[in-house]
Amino acid sequence: MAERISDAEHAVMEVLWDEAPLDAQSIFDRLASTQSWTLATVKTLLSRLVAKDALATETEGRKFLYRPVIARTDYVSGESRRLVDRLFGGRLSPLVAQFAEAETLSADDIAEIEALLRELKK
């Protein structure tokens, strides 16, 4: 997938990563509690995601069903890499240092990072 996914499109993708395939009305219903979008807005976002090759469609009667083409893990991996590349020159340690200096790492976060580093050293 070459084109970036907007925040609004990402909300739609989250619904479909959790449950797919779904039609536009079902996606709209699941987003209604967190978004004040109309059904037309959801359909526009779906069309954009299909054009970006992030979603595929299939027909069921008179409805289109949507399903993700890209896995959530692949998307997160790509976005994480872009963030590190763009803000930290491709190096992860300055990102961790930034969080540490801003005192946003909890003791649990630090323990998880330490465990990950131990696992990576094996």
pLDDT digits (tens, 9 = 90+) for 10-44: 999 999 999 999 999 999 999 999 999 999 999 99
> Would you place residue 110 in the very low, low, confident or very high pLDDT band (cuts 50, 70, 90)?
confident
Residue 3 pLDDT exceeds 90? no
Q: What percent of the chain has pLDDT over 70?
A: 98
C-alpha distance from residue 50 to each of 66, 69, 79, 119, 120 (Å): 9, 9, 19, 39, 37
The single-letter code of the amino acid at 101 is: E
Q: Could you give phi then psi for residue 7, rounded to 5 degrees?
A: -60, -40
The single-letter code of the amino acid at 69 is: V
List the structure tokens of 97.
């240092």
Residue 70 pLDDT exceeds 90? yes
List the structure tokens of 38.
């109309």
* Distance of alpha carbon 21 from alpha carbon 18, whole angstroms: 10
